[in-house]
Copies of this chain bind each other. A is one copy, B any other.
Amino acid sequence: MTIKADWIAVDWGTSNMRAWAMSGSGTVLAEGSSDKGMGRLTPTEFEPTLLEVASEWIDGPTTVMACGMVGAKQGWIEAPYAAVPCAAMGGNLVTAPTQNPDLSVHIIPGVKQASPADVMRGEETQIAGFLARNPGWDGVICLPGTHTKWVHISADEIVSFQTFMTGELFEVIGKHTVLRHSVTSNDWDQAAFDSGLSDGMARPERIAAQLFSLRAQGLLDGLGNDAARARLSGLLIGAELAAAKPYWLGQQIAVIGAGGLSKLYVDALAAQSAPATQVNGTAITLAGLTAAYRAHKSDGIEGSRQ
């Protein structure tokens, strides 16, 4: 059975890419993925990688809408950032060079902030997807991940945002420091997470000491790896919530992301009397790419009418 895509949606990050064959009405017809993320590719390798995943969906001229690190300086082609305050997809699409004349690849630019210096690539598309589904929504969007982002939305624009390296710190501390033997675990101790969260929020400046104390508690008190791992996560997320409080306090909050990590943020915010809505990340990415595709298509139609 052959699937012919009306257009193709692509989310191309640093470490992997995902692609969806889409119908004109925005239905997913098929999906594929590759571990050839932007970090592994030179500019001329993006097109063959896309075709490895999507070639059988292509029959004739096909539009591709792509977001993420594919538009970075080291990506397929650089898509210059839009500057806040701006609409989530406020920048101009950039057309990537292709060998295959049937392919028309458009890259959604990221968003930058001058001070404090900050950047995003990919999240702007999720934010646009969320706003397309929730017109007129004002508040704060949290996007947990390797580099968690807090984004203030007002009047359909990104007003400001702040990125925390919390997820990446959790990973490198667990893999590369003296704690690596203390936090390797597949289990989860919710009570240890909760107490770490509370301590991290209350005394965020003490993180570097509290980390070493995890090691000492393992040596002296027999603290188990599951408890140490959950407490490490709680300490780091707690310190982030303390610093991000000016963002979330008293605001309507949406947390975008699937699964466990986002749930931890939602629960932690709830414990602070800050209820947050959790939204599926993949669905929201597709909503954003679909919004970008429709805007591009209507631009084209308007252009041809002129």
Contact = CB atoms under 8 A, between A and B. Distances in A.
Number of copies of this kind of chain in the complex: 2
B177 A165 contact: yes
Contacts of A166: 208
Contact of A208 (B216, B217, B239): B239
Contacts of A175: 176
A99 B290 CA distance: 75
Given A213-B118, A239-B207, A172 B177 contact: yes
A212 B204 CA distance: 17
Contacts of A301: none
Interface residues of A, number: 46
A212 B166 CA distance: 10
Contacts of A162: 209
A242 B206 CA distance: 8
Contacts of A240: 208-209
A205 B242 contact: yes
Interface string A233-266: 0001001101110000000000000000000000
A203 interface: yes
A168 B209 CA distance: 12
Interface string A188-227: 0000000000000001111111111101110111000000
A135 interface: no
A248 B107 CA distance: 53
Contacts of A209: 116, 162-165, 240, 243-244
A117 interface: yes
A220 B114 contact: yes
A119 interface: yes
Given A73-B219, A117-B220, 5 more contacts: A117-B219, A117-B221, A118-B216, A169-B177, A209-B244
Closest 10 interchain pairs by CB? A204-B205, A117-B216, A164-B208, A163-B212, A117-B217, A205-B243, A172-B176, A206-B243, A205-B242, A165-B211
